[in-house]
A and B are shown apart, each in its own frame.
Chain A
Amino acid sequence: MTTRTRATSPGALPAAAAPPRRRRTRGFLILGALAAAVLLAAVLSVMVGARPVPPAGVWQALWSPSGTDADVIVRELRLPRTALGLLAGLALGLAGALMQGHTRNPLADPGLLGVTQGAAFAMVLSIVVFRLGSVYGYIWFGLAGALIASAAVFALGLAGGGRAGPTPVTLALAGAAVSAFLHALTSTVVLLDKQAMDVFRFWQLGSLAGRDAAVAGQVLPFVAAGTLLALANAPGLNALALGEDVARSLGRNVALTRFTGIAAITLLTGAAVAACGSLAFVGLIVPHLARALSGPDHRRLLPYSGLIGAALLLAADVTGRVVAHPGELEAGVVLALLGAPFFVALIRRTRSVHL
């Protein structure tokens, strides 16, 4: 493919390095196809379930609800769940691409900054202290834990990296160390407290099921802010891919670029993880899929990753409802069982784009 052999265009010079018209057309085509896939997954996600609703019923429920069962199901149960899946998938896909770009490590997932484990620890603590039945009533604890943990990782990465801002290696290692530390604390609490264990094992799996209808609205501002920051980060990330020294000589503020990226990762992952549990696999796998379409240019990679993430999570959720009808299988399990073999096959087929 042409995009793979093309050299990375430094985002600092967008006008001079603009791709030829043919490549731009191809980019729009891919973007359109991905958006269509997201739309299809969203429509299916509203229609399919324990009680299927035909397209006509969905249409009626959306525009002229009359209080029938189908209307209630669509408006009260399916739509909030679809919205949550869209937001969480978009957030995790974007965060994964940012994380892998910033650490230049294909193993980096959005949880690497300690975000996932910070949220987990805060939630488990809140269960023990306040004796809650469900974690999801306390989404704010998760969000706060995620923010604190990632701030700590960033501070440590900064301290390890020196004046120029955190380097990929210090960031990755500091993240791994803090995550392991927090995970150990969470495991201790869970082992000592059986009620926390009972809630935690479901949180760990990740799912879109049974969330309060208000959750999607609660996380929306965080995801929106994170998405804007992420897209604004793309040109800087392109320059950083050439190495920090080159990026600096191109006029990039390296520390600012890193800070923007990490703020975006924290907002996106914190919101998704607090709402849906540990679904980190989306963020790990999606950027590799997107990179096969986009090549190394983050200005394409980021939007593709977000769309693929949303489509993949919704599709996994729908599949989980179909295969275990009338019950359902958690989206996290479906993602791993279907997504991972596909991912492995893709890696074997293509010459992967190295970071």
Chain B
Amino acid sequence: MKHYPENPETPFKSRTAETSAAVSSEARSSDVLSLSDVTYRYGKRQADVLKGVSFAAKPGDFIAVLGPNGVGKSTMFKCLLGFFKTYGGDIRLGGKDIRTLSHKEIAKQIAYIPQSTYPTFNYEVLDVVLMGMTAQLSALSSPKKEHTRRAEEALKSLGIGHLAHAGFGEISGGERQLVLIARALVQDAKILIMDEPTANLDYGNQFRVMCRVEALAHEGYVVVLSTHNPEHAFLYADRVLILNGGEVTADGAPDAVLDEDMMRQVYGIDVSIKEFSDEEGTHRVCVPKRGGGF
């Protein structure tokens, strides 16, 4: 496997679409999720939103997907969640073509954590978490005591057990995001797809949510999340996927992929990326230059 290093600490350069496309054709048994040459367009006469996206993920991967607005990040997620079935190319989940799987079968393997939005109906937090277990129930049944107990445990494990009976619409955005993570945990799926989970969150909550997500990746979950914050990628991800113009233009360790050139290429602005050290180790920070790029 060439497109990402076995050891995430090793800097590794791999920038071109050709490299990642070539690599994905050799499927590995440890890959739980793989996309090869996935294309998608919304209408017959419309241009392709995805133009041959390929990558694969194995347990423990924490993949941050970066790219400007409108490059197809959400479209890619919708394809690999099985919402869109008319894509070209191949998406495999645990070795099986995702088009052949029912929503229920997909839900047992992939949990989706959307951006936290204000809910239409103000369910109790506990009920929201219980909904994560729907795929484990038959269509005709409701959750039992044992499910409730598991939902309560999941909330406690995220430090929000006290919110079990609060209204989902009455808690803060950060808490709502944690509740959605708890819902994904009880879903018992090993792949977590998160569409900008820290959008709309305040500075502290962004950090709290990302810490929890990082811990889950260490436990063996596959995490694929989109973000607009390169520092989140530096801090937490062990792999960065740059999606630009419907293609994967880079795939590798954050320190290797995310540099000043790449930021200019992707976002069209000049940034300074600097390293500094503190008692926790060496970090990289990304600061936009006031003068450049506008």
Q: Do A and B interact? A: no
User: Using a CB–CB distance below 8 Å, which chain A residues touch chain B?
Assistant: none
Residues on B lying within 8 angstroms of A by beta carbon are none
